[in-house]
Amino acid sequence: MKKSLFIFFILLIFISCKDKKNYEFTNEIVPTPAFVEFGKNVLNVSDEIYIIFEDSSEDGKKITDYLTNFLSKNFSPKFINEAQDKKTNIFISIDEELPAETYSLDIDNNGVYLKSGDHRGLFWGIQTLRQLFPVEIEKSKLSENFVLPHVKIFDKPQFRYRGMHLDVCRHFFSVEDVKSYIDLLVMHKFNTFHFHLTDDQGWRVDIKALPKLAEIASQRKETVIKKNTGIYDGIPYGGYFTHDEIRDIVKYAEDRFITVIPEIEMPGHALAALSAYPEIGCVGGSYDAATSWGVFDDIFCAGNEETFHFLEKVIDEICELFPNSPYIHVGGDEAPKVRWEKCPKCQKRIKDEGLSNEHELQSYFVQRMEKYINSKGKRIIGWDEILEGGLAPNATVMSWRGEEGGIDAARQGHDFIMNPTSHCYFDYYQSEDIDNEPFAICCLIDCEKIYYWDPVPNTLSKDERKHMLGVQANLWTEYILDRAHIQYMVLPRMAVLSEVAWSKAPRDDYSEFQNRLQSLFKRYDALGYNYAKHELITEKN
């Protein structure tokens, strides 16, 4: 008897050791959670998934719809209010003790437990859970049942603003392309899509009160080949989003807890608009939407009241189309003052308003538009040039020419977002071997450089740092023509930026991060994404 008991225990130890050996998990999650600890065992996922989440709120329904859709190739999840015996139970709940976007995700023998302070946090928790599922779930029916690791995760974002920008002016993209870009934001826990809608080379949103914007300003005669070579393709180019299409994009983003911030450029980058409404330029015409790249002298006239009436009509419709965005981005960058210097109306405005120069005139312009936008319950964001000539009272600054703009803004008590050209311009090359890269605007920003970037200026005091909302990468599309090329430029750089934007963990071991990237690459493969392969570790011979 004693002997058989002894054998039984030896067998038990053997089995449990064997189990331990089988289940050694390492963290493969990108961005890495604030806390993650794997157990030594697994939860077997049955054919039937029950989701204990009865939330009839609008945001609750977004969670339900997303999960249903995500799991639909393999399961028909049922949303109920009581766990089911011997089935896979996923318990989802709001825990008001937790801050916004913060979540906990625990998996044990009894099921999956996801909690967050808000629905957005639940959604990010689902994105983490997604990375624990086999990659095949992204594209097809799984061939067999699978297991989830026992794990305890507690996670919260480093920054409350985590943005990705897309320029649809230099090249235009379809609604489906934009949605697919939003899918990338989702996967990498970015919460803001900065939608750059107007520029010299094309105006891309219908404004019903100003029909010539869609009709004329959305079109250009042709496009220069590469970087202002003087050789043109001779092919008319154009496109714009209708109101229904914009609403469709905004809904798609908001169903995924992503805020869409529209950008309407002023006073510069206005050539396309002037081609349709020449009377609001300083010299009255004739103007054509730009067919090459760069900065153009013709900008909106700041002395003409009609300019402000025009822009107010635009803002009226933009506020209607983006009702939930707290911000309207008003551009403000790269506005040469040469026309204003010679324009009698602009000079009269400078005199009448007691301004000392054209920089102060730009400040007058932005402040006037800010007042209008504030009156509609929204705030403005502008590129860091809006600091010149005096910052509008409630403006948030996007620091792009370096980090100084952000530092200045914070010292003046204003919020800022970091997106310097040094680390956040994903239209730049990602490899030194540019002969084997698609043509790009300039300069090298590779993954390792982004990884080691500390976006919080150490010259700022603790109080000033509170003005740092977060980080963003920009994708200008002079040389980017299609979805596959967009994906190539942002993947995997946005995965690295997500680590900067989301994770609080120290970034001091690039190879550890690179190892985690390898798992993400498998998911990109399953999703058919066209990602740059420089960080892919291939089997050595």
Catalytic center residues: 199, 269, 334
Q: By C-beta, is 349 or 423 nearer to ligand ACM?
A: 423
Give the whole-angstrom CA distance, residue 540 versus residue 150: 32
Q: By C-beta, is 70 or 428 nearer to ligand ACM?
A: 428
What is the closest distance, in whole angstroms, from the C-beta atom of residue 425 to ligand ACM in the complex?
Answer: 7
Token readout for 528 is 């058919």
| Cα angle value 34/410/494 (rounded, 5°) | 40
Nearest to ligand ACM by Cβ — which residue?
Answer: 333
Q: By C-beta, is 112 or 164 nearer to ligand ACM?
A: 164
Which of the choices ligand ACM, Zn ion, none does residue 334 contact, using the CB cut-off of 5 to 8 A by kind? ligand ACM
Distance set, CA 298 to CA 279, 290, 291, 361, 386 (Å): 12, 11, 14, 15, 18
Task: Name residue 219's amino acid.
Answer: Q
Does 95 engage in binding with ligand ACM (CB under 6 A)? no
Please count the other Cβ atoms lying within 10 Å of the Cβ belonging to residue 67: 23
What is the closest distance, in whole angstroms, from the C-beta atom of residue 105 to ligand ACM in the complex?
Answer: 37
Quickly tell me which residue has 């300083």 as its tokens. Answer: 282
Q: For 147, list phi and psi in degrees, rounded to 5.
A: -120, 155
Q: In what order do the strands lie in the sheet with 88-94?
A: 35-45, 146-155, 103-108, 111-116, 88-94, 49-52, 78-80
H/E stretch holding 106 reads strand 103-108
What is the closest distance, in whole angstroms, from the C-beta atom of residue 199 to ligand ACM in the complex?
Answer: 9
Q: By C-beta, is 250 or 343 nearer to Zn ion?
A: 343
Give the whole-angstrom CA distance, residue 307 versus residue 300: 7
Give the whole-angstrom CA distance, residue 297 versus residue 342: 12
Site residues (CB under 6 A) for ligand ACM, limited to 300-359: 333-334
Strand partners, 456: none
Q: By C-beta, is 245 or 334 nearer to ligand ACM?
A: 334
Please count the other Cβ atoms lying within 10 Å of the Cβ belonging to residue 488: 19
Q: By C-beta, is 136 or 334 nearer to ligand ACM?
A: 334
Give the whole-angstrom CA distance, residue 311 versus residue 372: 10
Binding positions for Zn ion, rule: CB under 5 A: 282, 301, 303, 343, 345-346
Which of the choices Zn ion, ligand ACM, none does residue 345 contact, using the CB cut-off of 5 to 8 A by kind? Zn ion
Which of the choices ligand ACM, Zn ion, none does residue 333 contact, using the CB cut-off of 5 to 8 A by kind? ligand ACM
Taking CB under 6 A as the rule, which mask of x and - marks residues 374-393 in contact with ligand ACM? ---------x----------
Please choose, from the candidates 403, 518, 499, the residue with its C-alpha nearest in 3D space to the C-alpha of residue 449. Answer: 499
Which of the choices ligand ACM, Zn ion, none does residue 400 contact, using the CB cut-off of 5 to 8 A by kind? ligand ACM
What is the closest distance, in whole angstroms, from the C-beta atom of residue 218 to Zn ion in the complex?
Answer: 24
What 3-state DSSP class applies to 27? coil
What is the closest distance, in whole angstroms, from the C-beta atom of residue 267 to Zn ion in the complex?
Answer: 9
Task: Name residue 448's amino acid.
Answer: E
What is the closest distance, in whole angstroms, from the C-beta atom of residue 397 to ligand ACM in the complex?
Answer: 11
What is the closest distance, in whole angstroms, from the C-beta atom of residue 351 to Zn ion in the complex?
Answer: 13
Which of the choices Zn ion, ligand ACM, none does residue 181 contact, using the CB cut-off of 5 to 8 A by kind? none
Which letter does DSSP use for residue 103 in this model? E
Q: By C-beta, is 185 or 301 nearer to Zn ion?
A: 301
Q: How many residues bind ligand ACM (CB under 6 A)?
A: 4
Which of the choices ligand ACM, Zn ion, none does residue 504 contact, using the CB cut-off of 5 to 8 A by kind? none
Site residues (CB under 6 A) for ligand ACM, limited to 453-482: none
Give the whole-angstrom CA distance, residue 162 versus residue 190: 5
Site residues (CB under 6 A) for ligand ACM, limited to 203-222: none
Alpha-helical segments (H) within 322-357: 338-342, 344-352
Task: Name residue 437's amino acid.
Answer: E
Beta strands in 136-210 (DSSP E): 146-155, 161-167, 192-196, 198-199, 202-203
Q: By C-beta, is 400 or 488 nearer to ligand ACM?
A: 400
Does 400 engage in binding with ligand ACM (CB under 6 A)? yes
Which of the choices Zn ion, ligand ACM, none does residue 94 contact, using the CB cut-off of 5 to 8 A by kind? none
Token readout for 517 is 């990237």
Which of the choices ligand ACM, Zn ion, none does residue 282 contact, using the CB cut-off of 5 to 8 A by kind? Zn ion
What is the closest distance, in whole angstroms, from the C-beta atom of residue 305 to ligand ACM in the complex?
Answer: 28
Contact 403, 421 (CB under 8 A): no
- In the complex, which residues of this chain contact ligand ACM (CB under 6 A)? 333-334, 383, 400
